[in-house]
Amino acid sequence: MPDKGSFLAEEEFAPYLRLVSTTNSSFWDDLNMMRKISLNGLRSNFFSSLKQKFRLNNQQFNSLVGITWKTITNHKKDSQILGLHTERALYLAKVWDTGIDYFNDADLFRKWLARNNPFFDEKPLNLLNTMAGCEIVYKKLQQLAYGISA
């Protein structure tokens, strides 16, 4: 069962979680499931939750998700947002859930994202503007969780 700080705990993922018996990390590794969610889209309130959890300003949000905050707020509350924006949002949610699992504290995880990091030679947050960058941060968090630091 996903913890309360997890995106998987949100109503948005309930239909997908019923299809699989899984842990947070294996759900995020299921590319078929992520593809299904991307094709079906995510509601605009999911993007609001993403912005809030990461504590992003509008410019950071635009950079990471590839859609302006104004566009998101112009959507009706329960309208679906499709396409690349949904996929990018899913990758960010994947990083968030993995970071929360590892750090067990949202503020500590945000601080880790915002500091220059020797693993990346820059701030992990700076990598999150591409899906490949999200995957790099995700894999590093998994390594840290398993005690692998190099």
pLDDT tens, residue by residue, 39-84: 888 888 888 888 999 999 999 999 999 888 888 888 776 677 877 8
Domain holding 100, by residue range, is 7-145
The Cα–Cα gap between 136 and 42 comes to 23
- Whether pTM exceeds 0.85: no
150 within domain boundaries: no
50 within domain boundaries: yes
28 within domain boundaries: yes
Number of domains in the chain: 1
Residue 9 has, within 13 A of its CA and on its CB side, a CA count of: 12
120 within domain boundaries: yes
60 within domain boundaries: yes
62 within domain boundaries: yes
1 within domain boundaries: no
Q: Classify residue 8 by burial, with Cβ atoms within 10 Å: 0-12, 13-18, 19+.
A: buried
The Cα–Cα gap between 35 and 84 comes to 11
Residue-wise pLDDT for 84-138, tens only, equals 888 999 999 999 989 999 999 999 999 999 999 888 989 999 999 999 999 999 9
